Structure 1
Amino acid sequence: NRMQYVMFDSDVGHYVGFTPFGEKQAQYRNSNPEWMENRRAVVDTYCRHNYEGSTPFLVERSVPPSVSISLLPSSSQAGARGLLCSVMDFYPGHIQVRWFQGQQELSGHVVATDVVPNGDWTYQLLVLLETP
């Protein structure tokens, strides 16, 4: 599912889990003192060194979204169910999508997916403005 479940957090010096499975993995890895000593050393000898070389790709990288808006047909009645905004292939994964009519923001009747990773370092999001 391409979701992160565990990581070594160098700020706190141990593994952190993000899912129940990841929490078990973190607990298992954190309980081995030799393994943890090795992981902390790797942060200095490998991670920090490679961070400098990868900063342009990972930290400073920005990919603008591809955006399309389409009518979403209603399945039960004539007319459209709403407008669907598809926001695709962007990086980093933090994005805000809002609907406006003139200068007025339309916050009611808006449904959105979570930001979903594509697995290639880009993300996607769908935002629906339902028509009453």
Structure 2
Amino acid sequence: MERVRGAGAVLAVLVVLGAPPAAGEELSGVFQRMFKAECHFINGTERVRFVHRYIYNREQYVHFDSDVGVYVGDTPYGEEMWARPRNRDKQFMKRMRAVADTVCRHNYELVTPFSVERRVPPSVSISLVPSSSQPGPGRLLCSLMDFYPAPVQVRWFQDGQELLEHVVATDVIPNGDWSYQVLVLLEIPPRRGVTYSCQVEHVSLEHPLSRHWEMPPDTVHIKILVGVGGFVLGLVFLALGLGFYLQEKLSSKVA
């Protein structure tokens, strides 16, 4: 079942003062009134619901729900001062009951290309990050960047075997530009000779996307081995050269 929610809000901040405060003076109080309009869609436009909320200082005091068809007071003030007067206004209530069709359903075709139907695949990378609390070479971090929509599944594998423990993920974080990011950390230190894989499943991908990582070879040990090998090879050539020299010298004396 597909469920989409659209919301718009108008925020008004009222400063309770007779005149603007002079320099250095403190405000006597700040009050917040918010009007929030929501369009809920289930299975496209098969079912559309409109909700209009009135909020004062973070407390909802009255709301309209198109499934109910009337304003309902959430506080005594909201019921007495808002719900009852609104519900008695027949022309106003007729317009409110039609908003699910005239606004929500009407605008659905306009917003679906960049909301419901929008698909942006994630950019996936694996990096080795230092760990200040645990010993070892560090920890592997799988980064998923700039994807849409938000639902995503990330799994870690070690030589083809899924790791069900020692995996920690952040919440899916909105970037503020209709894209998201998430970081998934493998808490165990990586070992040499082992292949680690980060597998991603997302609605924008036809098949799961995998990134692989192996610990690079130890360059210090390689340099030592190369040096030792070169030294041994030099001794071999020296011995061969010395052998040829002695053999030539012995042959010249016999002649």
**Superposed pair shares fold, TM > 0.5:** yes
Matched, 1:97 2:127: no
Matched, 1:8 2:38: yes
Assess, with a 3 A threshold, how the Cα gap between structure 1 residues 39 and 120 changes in structure 2: closer, same or farther: farther
Other-structure match for 1:85 = 142
- Unpaired runs of 5+ in structure 2? 1-6, 10-35, 41-47, 65-72, 74-81, 190-255
1:131 to 182, 188, 198: 188
Residue pair 1:61, 1:92 contacting (<8 A) in 2 also: yes
Residue pair 1:80, 1:131 contacting (<8 A) in 2 also: no
Matches within 5 A, 1:1-132: 8=38, 10=40, 13-15=50-52, 21=58, 24-25=59-60, 27-30=61-64, 31=73, 32-33=82-83, 34=86, 37=93, 38-75=95-132, 79-132=136-189
| CA-CA distance at 1:29 after TM superposition | 3.4
Q: Which moved more, 1:68-77 or 1:121-130?
A: 68-77
Q: Quick one: distance in 2 between partners of 1:14 and 1:131?
A: 47
Q: Which amino acid aligns with 1:28?
A: V
| CA-CA distance at 1:82 after TM superposition | 1.0
Residue pair 2:146, 2:180 contacting (<8 A) in 1 also: yes
Aligned residues: 122
Q: Which has the higher contact order (CA 8 A, sep 6+)?
A: 1
Q: Which amino acid aligns with 2:146?
A: D
| CA-CA distance at 1:102 after TM superposition | 2.5
- Unpaired runs of 5+ in structure 1? none
Residue pair 1:116, 1:124 contacting (<8 A) in 2 also: yes
Query: Deviations along 1:83-102, whole A, 9 cap, x unmatched?
Result: 01111111000000100113
Q: Which amino acid aligns with 2:62?
A: Y
Q: Which has the larger radius of gyration?
A: 2
Assess, with a 3 A threshold, how the Cα gap between structure 1 residues 94 and 77 changes in structure 2: closer, same or farther: closer
Q: Quick one: distance in 2 between partners of 1:54 and 1:42?
A: 16
Percent of paired sites with the same residue = 58
Query: Deviations along 1:21-61, whole A, 9 cap, x unmatched?
Result: 3xx23x43343443994554322112211111222221111
Assess, with a 3 A threshold, how the Cα gap between structure 1 residues 63 and 128 changes in structure 2: closer, same or farther: same
TM-score (norm 1): 0.74
